[in-house]
Amino acid sequence: MSETVIELRNVTKTFGSVTSNDHVSMKIEKGEILALLGENGSGKTSLMNMLSGIYFPDEGEIILNGKPVVIRDPRDAYELGIGMVHQHFKLVDVFTASENMILGIDPKAKLDRRKIAAQIKEICDKYGFVIDPDKKVYDMSVSEKQTLEIVKVLYRGADILILDEPTAVLTPQETERLFDVVRNMKKNGKTVIIITHKLHEVLSISDRVAILRRGQYIGTVNTSEATESSLTEMMVGKKVELNIERPVADKKPLLLEVRNLNCINPEGLQVLKDINFDVYGGEILGIAGISGSGQKELLESIAGLQRNEKGSSIIYYQPHSRDESIDGDQLVGKSPREIRDLGIRLSFVPEDRLGMGLVGSMGMTENMMLKDYRSNGHIFTDVKKPRQLAEKIKDELEVVTPGISTPVKNLSGGNVQKVLVGREIAASPTVLMTAYVVRGLDINTSYTIYHLLNEQKKKGSAVIFVGEDLDVMVALCDRIIVLCDGRINGVLEYKPDGDNKDFNKGNIGLMMTKIDYRDTADGGKKDE
């Protein structure tokens, strides 16, 4: 059993001044499921990219079945039986499954659809996949695309499969299905390496866990001897408190009232359908759903960045004005600037940090003034206050940057996010919207951010938290709205002193996929 299939010796890779992998030496055994664990930026993906031929190591050797090999490009890797499923799928949207399969293998080969379909079926039957060879990629769900990627790698004869964060885009149910397939692959003698940073998945699927920290190899342990906290300690380098608190706010003023929100995107698809919900201060409202279920459009509608259909309404009530029964402000149809001019303090941490929340080519200082650079009365920009704010955020959130004038696009993902979240919170918002706020962040930073969100909640702000890690959402949120295909498919509420049996991720996962909940939650409405 313990026959070494791949051995890495002193593998080093640097990008400019950043050392991504620092003399990594490790062994991978034949027929095992190895979890490669590490925080973001610890070098997991770049290490595996060197096995799959995307990168070439600066130093060190790769030894496959006892022989040193040189992998210059993905084709070399395939010839050696190494295949990788990347986090960002590399599929051609307008091609069918079978067309994608043979893409780039043999330019002279004829496209024999029937033969390919038969081969796909054979692979699917062997491992328990379900795939339609003639389906176009753009018609596929994320999990179907992933299945296709895995089948593609198997079709090309890989014996060693590398899966990069395969569960990031899946529902809990889909994840279970994927793990069944992975176990089948192991049974058939394949070696599987799973890159991940989710501890419970590591514990449930892998045989051994190899841990990287800041580009360095820390060690490999048998999964049976590991626990969540022991793995975290190896991963982070110190003990980390893995508890998320859920404080209870005493006042919960109504801040936002969303009614009949409809949105049709430029392609003519209805991405939000009859959305109704309320947002209260002093609570964290979670929004769950498979990515692309309308989360982005929902937040952007509130932020004034979406065109909404007639009849859509988002009313904002100033926290103090409700008692005096003053009418709220209609946000639909207003631009972000008009909303701000009404004195509404709305903060928004968008999913696309550098493409929407920040200006990548500018330094921290200039990014600080993005939203209120107009506030002074003359034609010149005022950099004094933004500079002070930049310094403050740099110190308080421990942003690692050569200086506050370094373009933020040169910072690592976690630091970019700290800059963005820092700015949005510094505006002392009444409503704080965040989309995938901890994506790509290390554990420490993630918990810092959960803490910051809780601070906002305690101050009486409403926090709208669009998330993907359901474990975190269940621990952090007071209410969770589950979106499916642009509709609200269900709402779960955490009762501080009640029965919270239904407040779990299994339920959320079911609501995320349309089948079960569509009829019950929505059936009545359809008849009207």
Per CB under 8 A, residues contacting other proteins are: 14-18, 56, 58, 67-70, 72, 76, 303-305, 335-338, 340, 348, 350, 352, 354-362, 366, 369-371, 373-374, 379-381, 402, 410
CA angle centred on 215, ends 214 and 220, rounded to 5°: 95
Distance of CA 421 to the CA centre of its chain: 16
Closer of 2 and 17 to other proteins (Cβ): 17
User: Cα–Cα distance between 286 and 263 in angstroms, integer?
Assistant: 20
Across the beta sheet with 329-330, the strand order is 270-280, 254-264, 313-316, 329-330
One DSSP character per residue, 285-319 reads EEEE-STTSSHHHHHHHHHT-S---TT-EEEE--T
Contact 432, 461 (CB under 8 A): yes
Q: Collect all residues with Cβ–Cβ distance below 8 Å to 208 and sequence separation of at least 6.
A: 29, 32, 33, 34, 35, 220, 221, 222, 223
Fill in the DSSP letter of residue 96. Answer: B
Identify the CA nearest to 431 among candidates 411, 394, 457: 457
CB 105, min distance to other proteins, A: 20
Closer of 239 and 409 to other proteins (Cβ): 409
Closer of 337 and 525 to other proteins (Cβ): 337
CB 405, min distance to other proteins, A: 12
CB 70, min distance to other proteins, A: 4
User: Cα–Cα distance between 148 and 181 in angstroms, integer?
Assistant: 13
Identify the CA nearest to 127 among candidates 62, 200, 178: 178
State the pairing for strand pair 479-484/283-288: parallel
CB 378, min distance to other proteins, A: 9
Closer of 200 and 374 to other proteins (Cβ): 374
Closer of 151 and 299 to other proteins (Cβ): 299
User: Cα–Cα distance between 138 and 326 in angstroms, integer?
Assistant: 48
CB 424, min distance to other proteins, A: 11
Closer of 58 and 471 to other proteins (Cβ): 58
Closer of 237 and 355 to other proteins (Cβ): 355
Burial class (CB in 10 A: 0-12, 13-18, 19+), 341: exposed
CB 17, min distance to other proteins, A: 3
CB 438, min distance to other proteins, A: 20
* CA-CA-CA-CA torsion sign (52, 72, 13, 441): negative
CB 407, min distance to other proteins, A: 10
Closer of 288 and 420 to other proteins (Cβ): 420
